[in-house]
Amino acid sequence: MKSLLAENKAMSNLFKLDVFLSDCTFENEPDLLRSTLKAGIIARALAIYRVDRVVIYKGRRDKACSELGERLEKLLWYQVVPPYLKRKIIPRSPVYRYAGLLPPLQIDTHVVTDPPSIGEVRLGLVRGRAKEKLVVDVGLRSDVEVMVNGETGPRLRELVPVEFTGEGWRILKEGNVYLGFEVIYERDRNIVSLMRSYGGLRIGTSRLGFPAWEAGDKLVSSISPGSRVAVVFGEPYRGLREIVDEHGGRVEELFDFYLNFIPGQGTRTVRVEEALVAVLQTIIFLNHVYRSI
């Protein structure tokens, strides 16, 4: 397990990635089946590149996509919850009709054994507290006890990362194990409002932007270790400039970088799930290359 943790630490991002998606992301999908398949691809991309948070923003003034936004939120949340806790956390909903088609994320907290192996990391659902111990459901036949040593600890029904030591379970405090992404739906906030209050580097993605690799050195020098980086995507039928204009903003004001990550694209459009891979891979690649020079 030590080698696995070392590998995770070496591959972990030096910064926190926040991905912003419109609640209209599913508007070009004709039905729930197609939406579910797209959500599966999106979730895999988010997990592969160790995204910390995915924020769903209000794309239209009239909230025309609010129902689609809730669908996206539920499907992404369903995937990030470990298989051994899904039935205990996620309520039944028609949205999950095709959930069986979703590809597994296979992040560390999802790939577990029974009985657990030493060094195994799980997410546990806090069910209660007895003096210095938390009572936690980690998906085994019975709940386990986790020492908190006088600390306040998480509240009931919260998820907490725990590690099996061979003798028992302890709360995992190291940050080198990827636990998945947080899903936030900002139903009443558009991208202009969110970016104006964002406390980190802001990157807008667009085919109208400056070529990403030509800005590589400046981009990487703007990212400090431990900082947050927002990567913002448009909609199936509208780019970021159109969305920002509708909400009274300007891309030049909102974003520190407004970049084209796929210059000379061979297709008229690039779907969100395709752009995610190209954009996140480029950012992480440029970061590793320029920091090693």
| pLDDT(7) > 50 | no
3-class DSSP state for residue 230? strand
Q: How confident is the model at residue 176 (pLDDT cuts 50, 70, 90)?
A: confident
Q: Over 90: is that where the pLDDT of 150 sits?
A: no
> Where are the domain boundaries for CATH 2.40.50.140 in the chain?
108-171
Q: Residues 12-69: pLDDT tens digits?
A: 567 999 999 999 999 999 999 999 999 999 999 999 999 999 999 999 988 889 999 9
pLDDT in tens, 95-106: 999 999 999 999
Residue 10's pLDDT band (cuts 50, 70, 90): very low
CB neighbour class for 284 (10 Å; exposed up to 12, middle 13-18, buried from 19): middle
In the chain, residues under CATH classification 3.40.1280.10 are 13-106+182-292
Q: Is the pLDDT confidence value at 151 over 80?
A: no
pLDDT at 198 over 90: yes
Render the burial of 231-243: b for 16+ CB within 10 Å, e for the rest.
Answer: bbbbbeebbbbeb
Confidence at residue 224, expressed as pLDDT on a 0 to 100 scale: 87
**CA distances (Å), 110 to each of 84, 105, 106, 113, 264, in order?**
8, 7, 6, 10, 38
Position 293 confidence tier, pLDDT thresholds 50, 70, 90: low
Can you tell me the mean pLDDT for 78-97? 96
Mean pLDDT of 148-158: 71
Q: By the 8 A CB rule, do 19 and 185 touch? A: no
What is this structure's pTM?
0.92
CATH code for residues 108-171? 2.40.50.140
Within 10 A of 22 (CB to CB), how many other CB atoms are there?
Answer: 27
pLDDT band at 152 (very low <50, low <70, confident <90, very high): low
State percent of the chain over pLDDT 70.
Answer: 92
- Whether 164 shows a pLDDT value over 60: the answer reads yes
List pLDDT tens digits, range 207-263.
Answer: 999 999 899 899 999 998 889 999 999 999 999 999 999 999 999 999 999 999 999
Residue 135 identity (one-letter amino acid): V
Mean pLDDT (the chain, rounded):
91
Q: Mapped to the 3 state alphabet, what secondary structure does 50-104 carry?
A: CCCEEEEEECCCCCCCHHHHHHHHHHHHHHHCCCCCHHHHCCCCHHHCCHHHCCC
CB atoms within 10 A of CB 7: 11
Q: 151 or 179: whose pLDDT is higher?
A: 179
CATH class for the region spanning 13-106+182-292: alpha beta
Answer whether residue 4 shows pLDDT above 70: no
Banded pLDDT at 148 (limits 50, 70, 90): confident
Cα–Cα nearest to 126, from 111, 148, 105:
148
Q: Three-state DSSP class for 23? A: coil
Q: Write down the pLDDT at residue 153.
A: 63
- Residue 14: its pLDDT value, please? 78
CA atoms of 160 and 158, how far apart (whole Å): 6
